[in-house]
Structure 1
Amino acid sequence: MSKLDGNGRWKSKMALTEHVEQYEERQYKSSTRPTPEEYTMARDYILLPHMLTMVERSKKEIETSTNLLKNLYLTASQAVMHQIHTDMYNLRRELSKRNIKVIHDEQIDLVMYYKILCRGYEERFGIVRDVVRSEMSVRLAKYLNNVAKLIEQKGK
């Protein structure tokens, strides 16, 4: 019997929220299931190659056009492609460091299915094509904003 057994304050099972969060985080990291951050990384790993293909297609269309701002569009598309390549490289490194593999499984109607192999845990992950398109447009807008900021800085 310890000194604290007779003290009524220690009978309750209350814990500070910080301690609960730390405990849950430790439990989550020790499990083999992917964390929400790792699911986001897997989704990005799926999206980025599709985005790269989309930008490459657009670049080829621009190359054949007679637009006056053709060189500007080509330079912007190159910058976006470089950013996507950099993100893909960093993402691949981080996924391999965490021992996570994302494998394309199948496509049924409008849903693309992937397998996520995470530290011995296997899960099937599906993404609807409309969600892919909307997420790609949001991501592409961010990349283009970065390019616009660079152009604006060089113009000043």
Structure 2
Amino acid sequence: MSKLNGNERWKTKMIMTEHVEQYEEQQRDNEDKLLTIDERTMVRDIILLPYIDTMVSKSLKEIEHSNNILKRAYLMAGQAIQRSIMQDTYQLQKELKQRNIRVLADEQEDFLVYHKIFCRGYQERFGMTRDVMRTEISLRLTKYSADLGAQLKDQLK
């Protein structure tokens, strides 16, 4: 006697329960291979951090050639921020490598920057608009500056 005997609903269906179980298991396997939200955030950060580092480097060069009285203090602050950026980049690269995720630059269109993401056997295309990049970079630089300010306050206490 079958599981479906007496169940009128299944008379019109052409799928066997074994197939349903196989399909559901296959879907669970695919979910394990796709990027999670945290991994997407890490990919976004690993893309943005080199841009932030470049901006800080340019700013440091401008400060070096200025005649500002606080030039030395600005340089030290900029270098501290740059060290934090490098540490974050290293940690993200290490974490992405452990999760078997690689990010490669793909192409740039007018307002979009694309990257290829190789994640656990799958390939995905990740794009960000320049406006989003500017906003995220501004937020990250603000966070780095606030962190440096908090460190200085802690040391002065």
Residue 40 of structure 1 aligns to a residue whose secondary structure is helix
| Aligned position for 1:118 | 119
For the 8 Å contact 1:111–1:126, the answer to whether it is kept is: yes
The amino acid that maps onto 1:139 is R
| Aligned position for 1:71 | 72
The amino acid that maps onto 1:52 is D
Residue 103, structure 1, aligned to residue 104, structure 2 = yes
Residue 154 of structure 1 aligns to a residue whose secondary structure is helix
Aligned-partner Cα distance in 1 for 2:119–2:154: 42
| Aligned position for 1:6 | none
Aligned-partner Cα distance in 2 for 1:70–1:29: 54
Query: Normalising by structure 1, what TM-score?
Result: 0.80
| Aligned position for 1:51 | 52
| Aligned position for 1:12 | none
Residue 33 of structure 2 aligns to a residue whose secondary structure is coil
Give the C-alpha shift of residue 155 in structure 1.
2.8
Residue-by-residue CA offset, 1:84-120 (whole Å, 9 max, x unaligned): 0000000000000000000100001010000110000
Aligned-partner Cα distance in 1 for 2:86–2:103: 18
Aligned-partner Cα distance in 2 for 1:31–1:155: 47
Q: CA RMSD in A?
A: 1.4
Query: Normalising by structure 2, what TM-score?
Result: 0.79
Aligned-partner Cα distance in 2 for 1:29–1:80: 39
Q: How many residues align?
A: 130
Structure 2 unaligned blocks of 5 or more: 1-27
The amino acid that maps onto 2:78 is S
For the 8 Å contact 1:29–1:35, the answer to whether it is kept is: no
Going from structure 1 to structure 2, the CA distance change for 1:61 and 1:123 (only over 3 Å counts) comes to same
Residue-by-residue CA offset, 1:43-87 (whole Å, 9 max, x unaligned): 000000000000000000000011111111101001000000000
Residue 65 of structure 1 aligns to a residue whose secondary structure is coil
Residue-by-residue CA offset, 1:112-147 (whole Å, 9 max, x unaligned): 000110000111110001100110000100100111
The amino acid that maps onto 2:155 is K
Percent identity, please: 48
